[in-house]
Structure 1
Amino acid sequence: MRTAMVALALGLLAPTFLPVLPPFWLMAAMSLAALLALPTRAYLAGVFFIGLAWACFSAQIALDDRLSVALEGQTRWVEGRVVGLPQHSDGVVRFELADAYSRRTRLPTSMRLAWYGGPLVNSGETWRLAVKLKRPAGLLNPHGFDYEAWLLSRGIGATGTVKDGSLLQPAQGAWRDGVRQALANVEAQGRSGALLALVLGDGAGLSREDWQVLQDTGTVHLLVISGQHIGLLAGLVYLLVAGAARHGVWPARLPWLPWACALAFAAALGYGLLAGFEVPVRRACAMIGLVLLWRLRFRQAQPWWAWLAAFVGVLVLDPLASLRPGFWLSFAAVAILMFTFGGRLGPWRWWQTWTRAQWLIALGLCPLLLILGLPVSLSGPLINLLAVPWISLLVLPSALLGTALLPIPFVGESLLWIAGGLLDLLFKGLALAAGQVPAWVPPAVPLWAWCIAASGALLLLLPKGVPLRLLGWPMLLLIVFPPGEEVPMGQAEIWQLDVGQGLAILVRTHRHTLLYDAGPRFGEADAGERVVVPTLHKLGVQEIDLMLLSHADADHAGGAQAVRNGLPTTRVISGDPQALPGDLQAGPCNSGDSWTWDGVRFELWRWASAIESNQKSCVLLVVAGDERLLLTGDIDTHAERALLEGPLAGPIQWLAAPHHGSRSSSSMALLARLKPHSVLISSGRSNAFGHPHPWVMERYRRLGLSILDSAEQGAIRLQLGAFVPAHTEAGVRRYWRDRLAAGAWTEH
């Protein structure tokens, strides 16, 4: 039975690693062959292919429900019902719309929308909205978070921006939103946002600083609903009934064990529904239900059987759950605890059990965090020793009891006030720890090195006395000191990062690093903090020798301060240093300045007669061997004419499109003189500026240029000096990244 369940689980997971999905006829044939194999000795293969076919079929249904290419960027009137908990922050309302309907157009059934300056939107309401529609898409950077996969896993077929709307029907059955509003109105010593996260799983009330503190201290799992909270509540209810039966308080006519199991599961399920029933909650409820059933039937639980059944059950009901990092972290944490505490020859004391649990979870999850591209908290094992009981034994009971007793005047509010004060004390302590030991973003390692490190972590989880166990330490250290690939002398590695509507280009030589522009910042959305710094860490960049900000516009220099805060930066220069945002200090870009790093030559140019910021862009020429790259910032046709009269006006191979390919740039004169064979464009998908302009794109095509646009290809990597084709992140095929990929097997 267990072997068959493992085979089924592997089949359900297999599509996650497929570049494209098989066509429908192949899925049907696969299912038929699997059914025929079940009565034979090849039944395990049959079970595997049943799981594979079901997962592929579910994924294909989700892909088919995406917005069609023809509707990309169009504005349509849509009717639908608001689901989940809408988020209101900084004048923006973000929410999910289900059962979406348009009179003349077939639309995805579920959308994720943003309404800038919109009114109060509540869960359960029905709205008629004018929405500018977009296909699901996210930034694609090396080892970065795959937002498109996350959207697909939630069944969201389109995103969009609301232009106008009207309420058609008030909320119906939106009890979670009612609870949220009641909690938000309670005085909780300034921590109502944290209470909402703990009780309802709604993290919208936590500030960016709060999230950073939780990430640095490895305590994110405490403020979002986790299996630990569900298990704690279920265990408490079970023990209360068992204790009442032992002391003769429980009614004799009611058998205590069935009632204890039923009430414990009801409590877990009720808390899960209150929290939105996400993957960790589903996993916890499934495991608790199976353990309680086993307790009723055999009086002795079998944790591994329950874990495997819950794992398979979650995937059968939601095969796309494997695309979410939380799925892997949730099941892995429980598996590590069962593996390390099961089969020991002797019991540990309670304090040994508690300290080793935190240490072993941190050790076991380290390779998984690395492959998922998540930061590692160095202080987490120590912080969690105190934070977990603080939340589980003090904050959570008072928060849940206070929420349940809110209808009783003063009682519920008082309990929530106490819970808020306890949370405030916790956050103050966490902030102190985070200031001393921030989270570590490990560099990416080759697959073979990761496999060795993961094997080392597994060895260290084994009991003491196991032969060769201590070899796990040097194996695990491959994560800390990865075998990196150095840039050869005389060559330069170029990364045009995918930062949306902005620019950030990394230039690395054998021993030096240059960053040309730092990505955009618009309001709270800072690409420097969210994209540039984490990506540079994962690429192994430890410091920046020179940050060159072409000019002062927010889409080029907005992320500069975050980059300086996140990485040691030796020097900053800019074409418009006086206009840089904030207190950022930079030296001037001087035309004619040149230098050589590790056999790679760099030369600057800036138009002396420039008037406005775009024209002041500092242009950089990078020459490795006989291969040349020109980075142009946002210069326009006037600055281009001046550039053609200077020393940089020679043939090149690679051109970073001036001003993101706008109509006011990329003149025919510039292209004819420079004669590039490829052009790099950094733009946001369906951006409001219309970049790159169709006229400019037609000009590129007419000249036979190879066009690489980050809006379509994601991050782009060049090996300057090696004369090899560019590598793009979109070139790493995943079935959800390109809608056409899902039908590739049919077409060929």
Structure 2
Amino acid sequence: MPDSAASDFAVQRNGPFAALLGWVVGTALQLQQGALWPVWAYLALAAPVALAVGWPRRHGFRAGPQGRRTLTWLLCAAALGFAGTGLRGLVFDAQALDPGLEGRDLRVVGVVTEMPQRNEAGLRFTLATDTATLDGRAVRVPSSVDVGWYSSGVGGGTLPGGEPAGSEGQPGDVRAGERWSLTLRLKAPHGSRNPFGFDYELWLWERGVQATAYVRASSTDAPPQRLDQTWTHPVALMRQSVRERIFASVQQKQTAGLIAALVVGDQAAIDRVDWDVFRATGVAHLVSISGLHITMFAWGAAWLVGYLWRRSARLCLLLPAPTAALLGGVLLACAYSVFSGWGIPAQRTCLMLVTVALLRCLGARWPWPQTWMLACALVVASDPWALLQAGFWLSFVAVGVLFATDAGSAQGKASSPAGWLRAVFAHLGSLMREQWVVTVALAPLTLLLFGQVSLVGLLANAFAIPWVTLVVTPLAMLGVALPWLWDLAGYAIAVLMQLLQWLAAWPWATLSLATAPWWLAAAGVLGGVLLVARLPGSVRGMGLPLLLPCLLWQAPLPPDGHFELLAADIGQGNAVLVRTASHALLYDAGPRYSLDSDAGHRVLLPLLQALHTRLDTVLLSHRDTDHVGGAPAVLGMQPQATLLSSVAADDRLQTRRPVQRCEAGQHWEWDGVQFDILHPQAADYDKPHKPNAVSCVLRIRSTGPQPQTALLVGDIERPQEEQLLAAQADIKADVLLVPHHGSKTSSSEAFLDAVQPRQAWVQAGYRNRYGHPAPEVMLRYQERGIVVHDSPHCGAMNWRSDGYEEVICSRTAQMHYWSHRVP
């Protein structure tokens, strides 16, 4: 073959792959932007692409090195991906909520677009807005709003922003497709921002939501009104109807939730305890609508379509039965994916099936890397922000690993829709090897994303994969037509849960390690792939040194004599993690948001797991729910921690762990760092008091040439501040946790003059109902030159005594263009 022809052939072979890869890379780079560029900048980047595509040929590179032309494909596609994603971001960002409408009561008319999610706190649903008025005047609001309608009578809970759970009447019977007229109080999407934490604002952005709201249904508000059923969202309505039938037919709520997750993709219906078991045993992918479910559904549908198609000679003359089976299986699998919620694994699988089906129909046989990259690029093109989802990486890396380690087998899996029963039993023998390959290769990525990996996952999946795929899922799906089959599915689920709970109870069921940096985890994934790849032993051995650093990574700790403070962003409440060189203390555990959700489970446990931190002491300042709401979850996962608090002898926490009462004068030292309890006095417990009056006050002092002091004071008020000043000759501190979240009842002038902090931290919810911190209180800090950091602006606040003035704010350190910028 002439050199020029060989070069053109190489470009034709490598060019499409380079273009697809470039699109994904360009999109990934754009997602790292802290702020969007103006529209002209993205257009200026994309405009030269068409010129660049033809440049090599016009300038004599037809027979030149194919690497140069392949690089052109890569760079041009990357520029288009970057610019296209930026322009989409600008269009969406233009729909943001006007800050002047935050906290205002608007009358909004809109249509419910998804099946509502109900829990003990009330109801949540997405509303596509039609019109909005403020005092009779039309205003513009975002086209999609996430709405909460909270039940009255659900006491004790607060929402992450500080609103009470259960203060606005009983939610109505809301159904997908209905048009409602509601009085809503809107605010910009704002979620907690913590190291290694869930990005709530990104989650809303990806769903197309630009505001959150809750229904105002008090006696002074216009009552909610159902206007009509629009039938504009029939799939969501069908899913809701099926879910209701499941819960009506299956008496046990936990079992019904699992069946609903398998049939309609409602993962929120799965009980939190069950999720813990699934994660510990590594089978969480089976209880969502995973690629395996979609593929098995496609095989079954293709077999049924092919069987029926062959019964008609006329149909076979119109279209060969194998082709009809292929197309029918793919189309029905896509329909099932849409019905089940169209999640990332379902998208990836459907696009893979569609790609393979089209290639087969066209007679083309692409190598697996191009097929895999095409499906990846299509998912990214449809949803660029999917690149930031854990499910995206787990799905595509797992499929890529299977392709790379056994390309022929993987290709057959994706492209063999006929002969369903024969294919199913043939593949059962290879499931163990596939699970081993995926477990080893994805262990570093799993540690990076979740901070733990299941050590019993291989054994659990050996039973769970065929059991869920061939027994539970078919019974659950057929139950839509024959509801009595849901009872059989429930028995099958009970068998599965017995085994999984037994495995999860093993002492070493999971391995938890500190979350490594992304680059170290990427090297670990490469090492895992090399270990399981079908390569010479010398090459596979290179995977171990790449894998070990990820497994041995340790989060940095303060040196001896110094300490670190990390004030978690938990909404309205207190939670401060204190770490020394080899010890850790948690001061307060944040609020309880509802009966099934609290700061301990949602924020603190993932944080402790990511840092691989073992608590020595949990100090709960007092019994208010915004300080102890997350304590049961934390104490349950940290059984070795000593509990120190001022809670009463009859408090429910006493049943979980013996509580040592905190009293002034208690002192201990860890790694050269001194800890002192300054309040309350022993006699204070004998007086009638509010819980705030006996808040435990903790002083922490480093040692060395320039010692630093932190003062954590809970919810003390002016009388307790005066008591502290009278009892302590020197109460100066460098860092002060602002008393009572900045309430008017605290932070007196005398107290601030005595403490003289250089910086003060406020832990409070964004636009909380208490108005914390009070403006007049913040003015006192400002007049004294005290730098104030608050969680709405800063997110989690991190400071080390050997770093002096440097405070790391998670919100600013992790700022992206979809992040809420608090005024």
Give the TM-score band, short-chain normalised: over 0.9
Structure 1 partner of 2:600: 528
Structure 1 partner of 2:243: 180
Match of 1:98 among 124, 128, 132: 128
Q: Distance in 1 between matches of 2:712 and 2:268?
A: 39
Shift of 1:447: 4.6
Equivalences, count? 734
Shift of 1:241: 4.7
Structure 1 partner of 2:477: 400
Q: Is the 8 A contact 1:100 1:110 kept in 2?
A: no
Q: Distance in 1 between matches of 2:519 and 2:74?
A: 29
Whether 1:67 and 2:122 are equivalent positions in the alignment is no
SS of structure 2 residue aligned to 1:209: helix
Q: Which stretch of structure 1 is more off in the superposition, 375-384 or 662-671?
A: 375-384
Shift of 1:439: 4.2
Match of 2:145 among 111, 115, 119: 111
Whether 1:2 and 2:17 are equivalent positions in the alignment is yes
RMSD (CA atoms): 2.6
- Opposite residue 311 of structure 1, the aligned amino acid is C
Structure 2 partner of 1:461: 532
Whether 1:431 and 2:498 are equivalent positions in the alignment is no
Whether 1:264 and 2:333 are equivalent positions in the alignment is no
SS of structure 1 residue aligned to 2:31: helix
Q: Distance in 2 between matches of 1:339 and 1:628?
A: 55
Q: Is the 8 A contact 1:59 1:320 kept in 2?
A: no
Structure 1 unaligned residues grouped into runs of 5+? 406-411, 744-748
Structure 2 partner of 1:623: 701
| 1:454-488 deviation digits (Å, cap 9, x = unpaired) | 33213213225242423423432333321442321
- Opposite residue 745 of structure 2, the aligned amino acid is S
Q: Is the 8 A contact 2:117 2:123 kept in 1?
A: yes
Q: Distance in 1 between matches of 2:140 and 2:545?
A: 57
Q: Distance in 2 between matches of 1:141 and 1:429?
A: 35
Q: Distance in 1 between matches of 2:586 and 2:240?
A: 45
SS of structure 2 residue aligned to 1:95: strand
Structure 1 partner of 2:611: 539
Q: Is the 8 A contact 2:19 2:76 kept in 1?
A: no
Shift of 1:366: 2.0
Q: Is the 8 A contact 2:202 2:819 kept in 1?
A: no
Shift of 1:495: 0.8
Match of 2:487 among 417, 440, 455: 417
- Opposite residue 619 of structure 1, the aligned amino acid is V
Q: Is the 8 A contact 2:301 2:333 kept in 1?
A: no
Q: Is the 8 A contact 1:235 1:264 kept in 2?
A: yes
Q: Is the 8 A contact 1:577 1:585 kept in 2?
A: no
Shift of 1:55: 0.7
Shift of 1:662: 0.7
SS of structure 2 residue aligned to 1:84: coil
- Identity across the alignment (%): 33
Q: Is the 8 A contact 1:132 1:161 kept in 2?
A: yes
Structure 2 partner of 1:23: 38
Shift of 1:620: 0.8
Q: Distance in 2 between matches of 1:163 and 1:581?
A: 33
| Cα 1:729–1:508 shift into 2, 3 Å | same
Q: Distance in 2 between matches of 1:242 and 1:305?
A: 28
Shift of 1:639: 0.5
SS of structure 2 residue aligned to 1:79: strand
Structure 1 partner of 2:295: 231
Q: Is the 8 A contact 1:617 1:632 kept in 2?
A: yes
Q: Distance in 1 between matches of 2:248 and 2:619?
A: 47
- Opposite residue 534 of structure 1, the aligned amino acid is P
Q: Is the 8 A contact 2:310 2:321 kept in 1?
A: no
Q: Distance in 1 between matches of 2:78 and 2:641?
A: 55
Q: Is the 8 A contact 1:145 1:373 kept in 2?
A: no
Structure 2 partner of 1:746: none
- Opposite residue 223 of structure 1, the aligned amino acid is V
| 1:599-657 deviation digits (Å, cap 9, x = unpaired) | 21111111434621101011111111321111101000110011111226432211100
- Opposite residue 678 of structure 1, the aligned amino acid is Q
Whether 1:681 and 2:762 are equivalent positions in the alignment is yes
Structure 2 partner of 1:409: none
Structure 2 partner of 1:445: 516
Structure 1 partner of 2:220: none
Q: Is the 8 A contact 1:595 1:601 kept in 2?
A: yes
Whether 1:304 and 2:369 are equivalent positions in the alignment is yes
Q: Which stretch of structure 1 is more off in the superposition, 449-458 or 499-508?
A: 449-458
Structure 2 partner of 1:389: 466
Q: Is the 8 A contact 2:735 2:761 kept in 1?
A: yes
Q: Distance in 1 between matches of 2:526 and 2:368?
A: 23
Q: Which stretch of structure 1 is more off in the superposition, 183-192 or 373-382?
A: 183-192
Q: Distance in 2 between matches of 1:342 and 1:555?
A: 54
| Cα 1:350–1:126 shift into 2, 3 Å | closer
Q: How does 1:707-722 map to 2 (within 5 A)?
A: 707-722=788-803
Q: How does 1:318-357 map to 2 (within 5 A)?
A: 318-342=383-407, 353-357=430-434
Shift of 1:156: 1.0
Shift of 1:100: 4.8
Q: Distance in 1 between matches of 2:342 and 2:587?
A: 44
| 1:108-127 deviation digits (Å, cap 9, x = unpaired) | 11111111121221111111
Match of 2:270 among 197, 201, 206: 206
Structure 1 partner of 2:420: none
Structure 1 partner of 2:812: 731
Q: Distance in 2 between matches of 1:648 and 1:431?
A: 56
Structure 2 unaligned residues grouped into runs of 5+? 1-15, 57-71, 152-170, 218-223, 414-425
Q: Is the 8 A contact 1:100 1:111 kept in 2?
A: no
Match of 1:600 among 673, 678, 682: 673
Q: Distance in 2 between matches of 1:441 and 1:153?
A: 30
Q: Distance in 2 between matches of 1:552 and 1:181?
A: 39
Q: Distance in 2 between matches of 1:189 and 1:652?
A: 55
| Cα 1:545–1:193 shift into 2, 3 Å | closer
Shift of 1:739: 4.6
Whether 1:612 and 2:657 are equivalent positions in the alignment is no
| 1:397-446 deviation digits (Å, cap 9, x = unpaired) | 2222331x2xxxxxx12323222221222223222222225544431224
Structure 1 partner of 2:11: none
Structure 2 partner of 1:556: 627
Shift of 1:202: 0.9
| Cα 1:459–1:311 shift into 2, 3 Å | same
| Cα 1:433–1:66 shift into 2, 3 Å | farther
- Opposite residue 139 of structure 1, the aligned amino acid is S
Shift of 1:493: 1.1
- Which TM-score applies when normalising by structure 2? 0.84
| Cα 1:576–1:188 shift into 2, 3 Å | closer
